[in-house]
Homo-oligomer: A and B are copies of this chain.
Amino acid sequence: MTEPTLDIVAIGNAIVDVLAQADDAFVTSEGVAKGSMRLMDEETSDSLYSRMGPGREISGGSAANTVAGMAMLGCKCGFIGQVADDQLGEVFAHDIRANGVVFDTAVRSGQPSTARCLILVTPDAQRTMNTFLGASQFLPEAAIDRDQIASARILYLEGYLWDPAEPRAAMQAAIRIAHEAGRKVAFTLSDTFCIARHGDDFRKQIAEGAFDILFANENELLALTGGDDFDAAVQEIAAQVETLVVTRGSHGAVAVQKGVYAQVAAEPIEKIVDTTGAGDLFAAGFLAGQAQGRSLEDSLHMGAIAAAEVISHYGARPEAKLDQLVKARLG
């Protein structure tokens, strides 16, 4: 096993977010549950776009947000995801590269266009996501760079991308490559809707040891185990993965790693503006802490710091210098 040259390589949806303010009544009238994520076709997306308020376009995508944050924390990162040959595809590619992430996935010609996520941000800072996956769902197995996967300490995968068949096959191939190379595989459950659709498969993957590091929020963990006892759910899943990280919103987060338990409170924030990307950046901080050899508790703390930064402004990519924030808090 050679020394890894990348800290992480992530496979995820390559999405540009379109963030707009919306009031609760608008979200209700769209028939969507506040705080959720739903998939839609291009026609439905265009229709919603025509009704929603003025937007701001900021690159997104769950795993992409995570590696963008990790790069800002000094990690060497790669990203694999599918954009189309259009202006939003250029925006996505520019932004992730400008964050210092290696991004070499070949652009896909023709329709559909680059994925976009219409995000309605309500006055309570909650985000409701309406995603047109576009080109993103056609990530082919051929886009998986075997050498790159083998060169990265961690392979990071988002549950969102388990939904379309082609990228799922690509991710399964990547898991095999990573494990054959002796690397760790990290997976985020992403959303309860993913568990509703793929829960059996996720449980099977976990039982068979596909994931060494598992990220979930409290709702996702309970959906995965089917119980309503948080501690029991943590115990059940922690027994099956090397590292389990569970975020609990304003109640902080917990982690269990090889039987060692740690927890952290949420970081105090002056004003929460937009919760988009909170979980993605928590994962970024945690994984960066682990890559830098920090303790389990300090890694959780880094997650909380990165999450706090990203929810203090619009968009799921950090604006402040995360490395300086961490240094000021943890040294």
Residues of A bordering B, CB below 8 Å: 20-21, 49-50, 52-59, 68, 86-88, 91, 94-96, 98-99, 113, 314-315, 317, 319
Cβ A55 vs Cβ B113 within 8 A = no
Q: A49-B94, A50-B94 are in contact. Are A56 and B87 (CB under 8 A)?
A: no
CA distance A95 to B59 in the complex (A): 18
Q: Tell me whether A56 and B315 are in contact (CB under 8 A).
A: yes
Residues of B within 8 Å of A113, CB to CB, are 87
Q: CB distance A21 to B319 under 8 Å? A: yes
Given contacts A54-B59, A86-B87, 15 further A-B pairs with CB under 8 A are A20-B98, A21-B319, A49-B94, A52-B98, A53-B98, A54-B96, A54-B99, A55-B94, A55-B95, A56-B56, A56-B57, A57-B57, A57-B58, A57-B91, A87-B88
Give min CB distance, A71 to chain B, whole Å: 10
Nearest residue (CB) in B for A318 is: B54
Provide a sorted-by-A list of 10 A–B residue pairs whose CB atoms are within 8 angstroms: A53-B98, A54-B96, A54-B98, A54-B99, A54-B317, A55-B91, A56-B56, A56-B315, A57-B58, A87-B87
- Which B residues touch A68, using CB under 8 A? 54
Cα distance A315–B98 in the bound complex, in angstroms: 19
Q: Which residues of B contact A58 (CB under 8 A)?
A: 56-57
* Chain B residue, CB-CB nearest to A18: B91
- The complex places the Cα of A317 from the Cα of B57 at a distance, in Å, of 13
A60 to B87, CA, bound (A): 17
A95: B residues at CB distance < 8 A:
54-55
CA distance A49 to B88 in the complex (A): 14
- Residues from chain B with a CB closer than 8 A to the CB of A56 are 56-58, 314-315
Complex Cα distance, B55 from A59, in Å, reads: 8
A50, closest chain B residue (CB): B94
Chain B residues with CB under 8 A of A98: 20, 52-55
Measured between beta carbons, the chain B residues less than 8 angstroms from A50 are 94
Shortest Cβ distance from A151 into chain B, in angstroms?
A: 24
Contacts of A96 in B (CB 8 A): 54
Bound-complex Cα distance A113 to B91 (A): 14
What separation, in Å, do the CA atoms of A58 and B19 have in the docked complex?
10
> In whole Å, how far is A322's beta carbon from the nearest beta carbon of chain B?
13
Please list the 10 inter-chain residue pairs (A to B) with the smallest Cβ-Cβ separation, ordered nearest first: A57-B57, A54-B95, A87-B87, A54-B98, A56-B58, A53-B98, A54-B99, A87-B88, A56-B56, A86-B87
Cβ-closest chain B residue relative to A98: B54
